[in-house]
């Protein structure tokens, strides 16, 4: 099971992709199927695995619906208040910390089920996972390591603007110039992000190989997975690249703060309204728990 990528897949399913869809409720209600097919692309589930893996995903989504969606509502309501007040960079960093905490809780909840999957993997499925990692990394290199610094800056700015436009609507050319400057002020080193990505992948491969070779029981495997999840979240705090990561987080928060500060009342109202739509959807989804 590619645990490192699992983090981003679940977040994308539950927070980013669905939030960008016109029908969040429909997307969430189909999220279990999307996650199943995503997993299948990594390990090519066999006939015996497919049934209980689907059941495990269903249980994870049911737990998430019952226990986590209300927390998302609280985060969004806080965001609404901050947009209408005098938000600070410290507020944004606190919000970021809250999202990380919610993400870690989700992954730790899934650790026993991930242990079952890791224990069930066959050598050819581990090889498939390794092949998928390599393919993804090749795609990353083509997209983010090609071109000169200017092209890379432009691509990163474009991705940021897609998110800002989702929240605030369209921006004027003057606003876009200010945002571009704030975006370019962030440290840019895609080689570092690729290396970190490959480290996470190798840690996952080492884990599943250890589980397979030593025929670890569920409890031992789950302990390894829990440790890996926690270490992944703590790595940036203890990395030899901490200065880079700190500068990136700080400058990214500053960019978001810049966008909020230059947003017009109409743009802020757009963001508050969109948040309210998600709040209503999450509240509705929470009531549909089994």
Burial (CB count <10 Å: 0-12, 13-18, 19+), residue 105: middle
**What is the DSSP-derived secondary structure letter of residue 21?**
S
Q: Residues in the chain with pLDDT < 50?
A: 1-22
Say what the pLDDT of residue 290 is: 65
Token pair 């369209």 is found at 170
* Distance of alpha carbon 29 from alpha carbon 202, whole angstroms: 32
Q: Are 254 and 182 in contact, with CB atoms under 8 Å apart?
A: yes
Say what the pLDDT of residue 247 is: 94
Say what the pLDDT of residue 235 is: 80
In our burial notation (b when 16+ CB lie closer than 10 A, e otherwise), range 61-84 reads: beebbeebbeebbebbeebbebbe
Q: Is 215 left (phi over 0), alpha (psi -120 to 50) or beta?
A: left
Contacts (Cβ under 8 Å, ≥6 apart) of 48: 120
Say what the pLDDT of residue 288 is: 81
CA quadruple 190, 196, 197, 202: dihedral sign: positive
**Helices 47-67 and 265-286 sit at what angle, rounded to 10 degrees?**
120
Say what the pLDDT of residue 23 is: 63
């Amino acid at each position: 099971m590619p645990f490192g990528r699992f983090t981003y897949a679940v977040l994308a399913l539950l927070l980013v992709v669905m939030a960008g869809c016109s029908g969040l409720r429909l997307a969430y209600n189909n999220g279990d199927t999307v996650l199943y097919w995503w997993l299948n692309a990594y390990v090519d589930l066999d006939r015996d695995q497919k049934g209980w893996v689907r059941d495990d995903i269903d249980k994870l989504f049911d737990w998430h619906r019952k226990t986590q969606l209300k927390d998302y509502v609280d985060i969004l309501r806080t965001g609404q208040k901050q947009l209408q007040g005098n938000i600070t960079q410290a507020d944004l960093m606190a919000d970021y910390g809250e999202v990380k905490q919610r993400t870690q809780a989700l992954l730790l909840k899934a650790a026993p089920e991930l242990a079952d999957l890791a224990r069930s993997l066959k050598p050819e499925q581990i090889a498939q996972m390794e092949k998928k990692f390599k393919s993804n990394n090749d795609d990353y290199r083509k997209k983010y390591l090609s071109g000169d610094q200017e092209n890379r800056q432009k691509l990163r700015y474009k991705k940021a603007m897609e998110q800002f436009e989702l929240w605030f609507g369209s921006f004027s050319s003057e606003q876009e110039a200010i945002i571009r400057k704030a975006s370019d002020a962030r440290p840019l080193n895609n080689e570092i992000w690729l290396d970190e990505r490959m480290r996470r992948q190798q840690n996952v491969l080492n884990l599943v190989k250890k589980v397979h070779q030593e025929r670890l029981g569920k409890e031992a495997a789950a302990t390894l997975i829990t440790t890996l999840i926690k270490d992944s979240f703590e790595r940036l705090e203890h990395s030899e690249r901490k200065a880079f990561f700190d500068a990136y987080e700080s400058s990214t928060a500053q960019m978001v703060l810049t966008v909020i500060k230059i947003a017009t009342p109409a743009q802020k109202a757009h963001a508050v309204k969109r948040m309210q739509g998600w709040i209503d959807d999450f509240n509705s989804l929470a009531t549909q728990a089994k």
